[in-house]
Chain A
Amino acid sequence: MTDRTLRLATAALAIAGASVAGYLVWVRETGATIVCATGGCGTVQSSEYAEVAGVPVALLGLVGYLVLFSTALFADDAARLVQAGVALGAVIFSTYLLYVQVALIGEVCDWCLVSDAIVTLTAMLALLRLRVAQAPPASSIRPADSA
């Protein structure tokens, strides 16, 4: 898999994640009724865990996805490192939030689960990008190298 393919997949996932986070920000700001199959979204979104230092978690997620999208635009090492750091950090925080939903609130938010899946896939792509960066480009391998 090439770095370009991984960047395209990352960009697509980041857009999907930003859409989910953007919807949750919109619901929070407008007070609209949240679409929710489990019925737990409202409870989770209005809990004390829905904010970090006064900033809505959904807004943090939106910013995070935009950062991940930005890292997909660049092919350099810095972009790969930032993507890996942000995506893995997001996986750690998402795992904590999943624990909070199940163990402390007793309700699960569908949208959070979708975001968890997206961020996990993005982190896997980020790790693959680090591996792809390690491999020398095919054009640089000469017959003599492999002999």
Chain B
Amino acid sequence: MSASGSRRRLAVALVGALVLGGSLIGASRLGAEEGAASPSEPLPSILDGIPQSGTALGSPTAPVTLVEYADLQCPYCAEWTHRTFPALVDQYVRQGKLRIVFRGLAFLGPDSDRALRTAVAAGRENRLWNVVEGLYHRQGHENSGWVTEALLDEVAGPRAVAARNAPWVVAELAGSSRAARAAGIAGTPAFQIGKTGGRLQTVPLNSLGPEGIQPAIEATLAS
């Protein structure tokens, strides 16, 4: 094979590569721009149809209120959310029996703080619980930088991301910290329960499964 023949083959291969690579890049860019122009419908969520107001999930007239103290980076909190939260939503919240209030804490590091601020900011759009659920679903290693701007944009939307340093968000975070200190919360997840508007009691959590919290809910409903 001559040197000119070899160069010709290399040129043919390079042209083929440029056509292939260029086509794929073009199609990818086009798809991404279309996706940005017309955001896809949100995936069905267990929260669909349940009222939210700020940090609260469920009917404001529900007889029992459960307060959840959690860090969005805490793996046990994520496990509780995966294993138990859907059952509580189905059996109690959707039935109007239970209201759950999220008290976010950010003691694990900077990723906790970024995630929590954004989730609380989404509360003003009554979407805090969707953001919390979305972040737990995508939870990465502790302080690995997994709470990126792209992730927050995707899960919470640009409005919540932009509002995360607002004074009312800072005030909400400080309020949660004060409440946790007052309740003697030493780790997460932790829960308080009581009649709505009444005195709250700390729930000793023996299991991250539904069996860990259901007896306390049933007892408070029955009281």
Interfacial residues, chain A to chain B (CB-CB below 8 A): 38-40, 42-43, 47-49, 51-54, 57, 60, 77, 80-81, 84-93, 96-97, 100, 104-107, 126-127, 130-131, 133-134, 136
Contacts and interface: CB of A to CB of B under 8 A. Distances in A.
- By Cβ-Cβ distance, the 4 closest A-B pairs, closest first, are A92-B21, A39-B140, A89-B20, A85-B16
B22 interface: yes
A89 B24 contact: yes
Could you tell me the dominant secondary structure of chain B's interface residues? helix
Contacts, number: 117
Given A84-B13, A130-B6, A43 B21 contact: no
B146 interface: yes
Interface of B: 1, 3, 5-6, 9-10, 12-14, 16-22, 24-25, 27-28, 30-32, 35-36, 138, 140-141, 144-146, 148-151, 154
Contact of A93 (B25, B30, B140): B25
Contacts of A90: 20-21
B218 to A, nearest CB: 32
A40 B32 contact: no
A129 to B, nearest CB: 10
B142 to A, nearest CB: 10
A96 B150 contact: no
Could you tell me the dominant secondary structure of chain A's interface residues? helix
A130 B148 contact: no
A88 B35 contact: no
A80 B13 CA distance: 9
A58 B49 CA distance: 35
B10 A130 contact: yes
Given A43-B138, A43-B148, A130-B13, A93 B31 contact: no
B200 to A, nearest CB: 35
Given A43-B150, A81-B9, A93-B21, A52 B27 contact: yes
